[in-house]
Amino acid sequence: MISYLMSVQFISVSIAVLILYSYPLIVLLIGIFSGKIQPNFKMLLLFFIVFAGIGLMLMDGEFELGMWGVALASLAALGATYTFIVGEQIAPKMNPIMLTFWVNLVGLILIIPLVFNQFHLPESAEGFWALAGATACYIAAIICQFQALSRITSEKAAFILNTEPVVSIVLAMLILNESLTTIQWVGVLLVMVVLFLFTLGVSRDSAEG
């Protein structure tokens, strides 16, 4: 996350998001090359369709490239990949709340040197409640992520997490009054339809298991 936030200083947010959300594909490819899962054309196709859908959602953004930005966003994608792969191994053996605590504690220790001279709390009540709400939602999301990794594979969890950019862009429309182009709506619908069908398949597999 630190690398992702730093990357937008050098490249456009659209490019940073697209690079970051290559991590479900990386998780899948690692699973295939490690022999954990069998190569499946249908699954590969679904992953690439969703990635293409995210690309369509970002078509209206500005595209600015830079070597450092691409490198940092790529590092963020690899970090997310590591979190899912290792999280799948640890989550079934550890309380998700405790796991969330340690992950965020390490993250806090890493980020302190970067913000030491810039840290300050929000000055307005609105800013404080916005910060508190964002923090609470983030913690709840991480706990749910580790709960999911204790129940399904990292590949399935990473794929379902492709809903995040969809939620972000829809919230930007609802809260910030941003408008979506036709091509962006196509991307949103494409991602949601594929994820819905994939989730149905996961639920059916779990019921049969």
- What digits encode the pLDDT tens for the residues 17-61? 888 999 999 999 999 898 888 877 888 888 889 999 998 888 766
Count of the separate structural domains present in the chain: 1
Q: What pLDDT digit, counting tens, does each position of 85-136 carry?
A: 998 998 888 888 888 888 888 888 878 877 777 777 788 888 888 888 988 9
- pTM (2 decimals)? 0.80
Cβ 186 vs Cβ 57: under 8 Å: no
Q: Which residue has the higher pLDDT, 160 or 118?
A: 160
Half-sphere exposure of 8 (CA within 13 A, CB side): 12
Q: Is 35 left (phi over 0), alpha (psi -120 to 50) or beta?
A: left
Q: Locate 72 and state its tokens.
A: 């940092």
- Output b/e per residue, 56-77; b: 16+ Cβ within 10 A: bbbeeeeeeeeeebbebbbbbb
pLDDT at position 209 is 54
DSSP designation for 149:
H
Q: Which residue has the higher pLDDT, 83 or 120?
A: 83
Other Cβ atoms less than 10 A from the Cβ of 149: the count is 25
DSSP designation for 59:
T
Strand (E) or helix (H) holding 19: helix 13-20
Taking each continuous run of H as one helix and of E as one strand, the counts in the chain are 10, 0
pLDDT band at 62 (very low <50, low <70, confident <90, very high): low
Residue 63: is its pLDDT beyond 80?
A: no
pLDDT at position 23 is 92
Residue 155: is its pLDDT beyond 60?
A: yes
Distances, alpha carbon 80 to alpha carbons 65, 74, 123, 172, 175, in Å: 21, 10, 32, 23, 27
| Gap between the terminal Cα atoms of the chain | 35
Cβ 84 vs Cβ 30: under 8 Å: no
Q: Which residue has the higher pLDDT, 157 or 173?
A: 157
Q: Which domain holds residue 18?
A: 2-208
Give the whole-angstrom CA distance, residue 69 versus residue 11.
5
Which positions ≥6 away from 130 have C-beta within 8 Å?
122
- Counted residue by residue, the chain has a size of 209
Average pLDDT over residues 163-171: 85
